[in-house]
Amino acid sequence: MALYSEKVMDHFRNPRNVGVIEDADAVGEVGNAKCGDIMKMYMKIDDGIITDVKFETFGCGSAIASSSMATELIKGKPLTEAMQLTNKAVTEALDGLPAHKIHCSVLAEEAIKSALEDYENRKKQ
């Protein structure tokens, strides 16, 4: 049996929404290099809708796949919906992750929340 599901390997090998948005409306970064995982998410937000999202990830196969899947799940969605995205939803969309890799999906959820928080903070200024 392979370590990862076909879905994970697909998103790892062909990650969706990779890159940077230079004029992003929101940027979120979570994790640290010491633990071996860092995710950074960039969003364009228009009228309460995430019109574009991109990511950069330093991490293992499941961290890259989780980032990719998470961006797919929120792209084109309203902020309220993105805010409610859970790591469980990311894991399920990937057809599961090995037990010791669940934290990668948690990181993806946190990266989205961190970006949305950044958006709220920017609005206040």
Partner 1 sequence: MIYADNAATTKMSDKAIEVMTELLKSTYGNPSSLYEFGQQAKEVLEHAREDIASVIGASPRDITFTSGGSEADNQAIVSAATFGKKRGKTHIISTAFEHHAVLHTLKKLEKEGFEVTLLDVHEDGLVRPSEVESAIREDTCLVTVMYANNEIGTIQPISEIGAICRSHGVLFHTDAVQAVGHLPIDVEKENIDMLSASAHKFHGPKGTGFLYARKGINLTNIIEGGAQERGKRAGTENVPAIATMAEALKESVSRIDQTSARLTEVRDRIIEGIGNIPHSALNGDHAKRLPSNINFCFEGIEGESLLLLLDDKGIQASSGSACTSGSLDPSHVLLAIGRVHDVAHGSLRLSLGEDITDEESDYIVKSVSEVVTYLRSFSPVWRDLESGKTAHIL
60 counts as catalytic? no
Q: Work out whether 40 is an interface residue with partner 1 (CB under 8 A).
A: yes
Tokens standing for 98?
Answer: 């090995």
- Of 65, 81, 86, nearest to 11 by C-alpha is 65
Q: Work out whether 21 is an interface residue with partner 1 (CB under 8 A).
A: no
x/- letters, 80..119, toward partner 1 (CB under 8 A): --------------------xx------------------
DSSP 8-class letter at 3: S
DSSP 8-class letter at 100: G
With contacts defined by CB under 8 A, name the span among 7-15, 77-85, 89-97, 115-123 that binds partner 1: 7-15
- Of 73, 85, 70, 9, nearest to 40 by C-alpha is 70
Q: Nearer Cβ to partner 1, position 2 or 80?
A: 2
> Residue 53 half-sphere exposure, CB side, CA atoms within 13 Å?
27
User: Would you tell me which residues interact with partner 1 (CB under 8 A)?
Assistant: 9, 12-13, 15, 18-20, 29, 33-40, 55-61, 63-64, 100-101
